[in-house]
Amino acid sequence: MLAHRLMAQGQAEGIFLALPTMATADGMFDRVAEGYRRLFAEEGQPPALTLAHSRAGVRDGFRALGLSSGAAKDETYGDEEETASAVCTAWLADDRRKAFLADIGVGTVDQALLAILPARYQALRLLGLAGKVLILDEVHAYDAYMQQEIQTLLEFHASMGGHAILLSATLPQTVRKRLLAGFATDAGAPENLPDNLPYPAAFLASADGLHIHGLPKPALGAERKLDLARLDTEAAALETVIEAAGRGDAVCWIRNTVDDAISAWNQLRDQGFSSILFHARFALVDRLRIQETVMKRFGPRGGAADRAGQILIATQVVEQSLDLDFDTMISDLAPIDLLVQRAGRLWRHMRPGREGVPCLHILSPPPPDNPDAKWLKAHMPGTAAVYRSSARLWLTARSLFGESDRTQLLLPNDLPVLIETVYPDDRQCGVPAGLEDAELHEEGREGAERTLAKMSVLDIGKGYSRTDTPWESDTQARTRLGEPTTTLRLAREDGGLLVPWAYGGAAGNAVPFEQLRALWALSEISVRASRVGGPCEDHQETDQVAAAKQFWPRWARRSIQLVIMREGEGKDGGTWNAVVTSEMGDQRLAYDPLKGLWFVDAENG
């Protein structure tokens, strides 16, 4: 609505929505596609809508839009002549860089951040964002490195006269001040925000300064009660899942790591219960299939019969921006802002039969009075590895379960206090002595990440000049600082040839070049580089491998590993296996289209 008002007043010509992940961008794209034409006047050429992320070109809905957009509106053309708007949209859809030139763009935030990094086509991306309303959803979801990048992006966008809308229900004040400072550099953003800020609220930064507007709560719906219950063990969490499914609930358990999600799925299967597993370690073709199933079953249009007794085991891929709705939810312990986001998928829509108060079950050890730095690792090592600040997790658990294993929140009233308790301006506030050193280390690490981001982005004051910083390909430039990843392309043998995992045709059938490129892209999985260093000896550049790679782009041949999957036999039937090298030597990996990819000890597997 705000973006449309700016467009109607002639202050913007289009919109770009930036989301945290490809899955959230895909979900938003589907929602925008249903009504984006209403943002524009009916006369003239229909607006172009594009999806911008590294795998947009293989998504069926987007490719179909690129081929058909505008055909129904451009009635002045004959049936045999391709319309101008269809040609325009298809041209824009052909390249994620050109997607920024479309009237409406939806994509990952990474595509927008490449506009402020020394990467090829940077100027094209920046030009495409100029004149658009930049909408950043879930801005709380980024680490210190990306927050600094976003701050720079806002500075560039404001300097070009652009408008930005940042969305979050759980943004700490420290992060809000930095983002306001990025956009309102010239206006002199305040170093300190006033106490007792209204919640919810809109913060407007402009050349006139900062204006804070409290939003009327009735406009957002009635206050909501949310019960919270702590679960001590995985066994208790599994029991909660099974009981809820038994009474006909649609159930979701959000795990913090892929390995933990696979473990929960295995345990349910071993006890005779079927469930859907959804995480990031699937080949893209399988991940898109699962995502579509999840959206149909648990989305707003999911029918009662389709949802009843169904179980979803997922990771953070369902945490944000996906319109999903569950009757019962279990979550591994996470920082308070992420728990609130997960709770947003609980009783999200009005459905018959819902009475009382929804309950979010949280798997967490009891928060001790005097914890040490390993208080969580002993119970939930995966969670401790993903969320490195043990103090933030302790403060979250302590705020929710300090006095009892059950509590109740009143939303949105209780959110500001909870968020600021876990993320105070003074990071050491409320941190127990046993966690102080670990938190000081974490504070230093985040400061180093922000410094590294400042060194990596372009300096708007210096303009374009020769520097020691190399300009990289936009496929190689890093927008995220996490552990390096390796992209695998899964292949299998078919009629003596290596074909993409996503290929479903008969052996020997000719496949058009463009379709073959898409099939290889749909066969990709990203894994931590430390776990996969390359193919084992029998996967080296044989004639068979060379034939499979001959149609790959040069950049793909340099940076992507081909992994030949061989179908298991006996008890392993239905599971595909391969051996790869890693920092720990040869390692066997396994793949199942329902379970994803997992690593098996080469000796014991």
Query: Domains of the chain, with CATH numbers?
Result: 2-215 (3.40.50), 222-438 (3.40.50.300), 485-600 (no CATH)
Indicate the pTM of the whole model: 0.87
Q: Say what the pLDDT of residue 587 is.
A: 81
Q: Say what the pLDDT of residue 321 is.
A: 74
Higher pLDDT, 127 or 92: 127
Q: What is the CA radius of gyration of the chain?
A: 25
User: For the residues 426-444, what does the mean pLDDT come to?
Assistant: 93
pLDDT in tens, 223-256: 789 999 999 999 999 999 999 999 999 999 999 9
Phi, psi of 253 (to 5 degrees): -120, 115
Q: What angle do CA 74, 75, 76 make, to 5 degrees?
A: 95
Higher pLDDT, 154 or 544: 154
Q: Say what the pLDDT of residue 285 is.
A: 92
Q: Say what the pLDDT of residue 272 is.
A: 95
Phi, psi of 245 (to 5 degrees): -65, -35
Mean pLDDT over each residue of the chain, to the nearest integer: 84
Q: In percent, how much of the chain has pLDDT > 70? A: 84
CB atoms within 10 A of CB 434: 18
Q: Say what the pLDDT of residue 222 is.
A: 60
User: For the residues 394-409, what does the mean pLDDT come to?
Assistant: 90
Q: Say what the pLDDT of residue 245 is.
A: 97
Residue 605 CA to residue 597 CA, distance in Å, equals: 14
Among 260, 264, 362, 278, smallest CA distance to 314 is for: 278
DSSP class of residue 251 equals E
Q: Say what the pLDDT of residue 502 is.
A: 92
Helix boundaries (H) for 94-216: 109-113, 122-129, 144-159, 173-183
User: For the residues 58-86, what does the mean pLDDT come to?
Assistant: 44
Q: Say what the pLDDT of residue 197 is.
A: 77
pLDDT for 528 beyond 70: yes
The end-to-end CA distance of the chain, in Å, is: 55
Element (H, E) at 549: helix 543-549
Q: Say what the pLDDT of residue 88 is.
A: 44
Q: Say what the pLDDT of residue 38 is.
A: 85
Q: Say what the pLDDT of residue 193 is.
A: 67
Q: How confident is the model at residue 467 (pLDDT cuts 50, 70, 90)?
A: low
The tokens of 279 are what?
A: 């995480």
Residue 41 CA to residue 39 CA, distance in Å, equals: 7
Q: Say what the pLDDT of residue 604 is.
A: 46
pLDDT for 548 beyond 60: yes
Residue 587 CA to residue 601 CA, distance in Å, equals: 6
pLDDT for 208 beyond 80: no
Higher pLDDT, 321 or 74: 321
Q: Say what the pLDDT of residue 213 is.
A: 86
Q: Say what the pLDDT of residue 189 is.
A: 52
pLDDT for 77 beyond 50: no
CB atoms within 10 A of CB 314: 26
Q: How confident is the model at residue 87 (pLDDT cuts 50, 70, 90)?
A: very low
Q: How confident is the model at residue 509 (pLDDT cuts 50, 70, 90)?
A: low
Q: Say what the pLDDT of residue 60 is.
A: 55
Q: Say what the pLDDT of residue 287 is.
A: 93
Phi, psi of 587 (to 5 degrees): -140, 135
pLDDT for 369 beyond 80: yes
User: For the residues 34-38, what does the mean pLDDT come to?
Assistant: 85
Give the three-state DSSP class for 225.
strand
pLDDT in tens, 560-594: 888 989 888 544 557 899 888 777 677 889 999 99
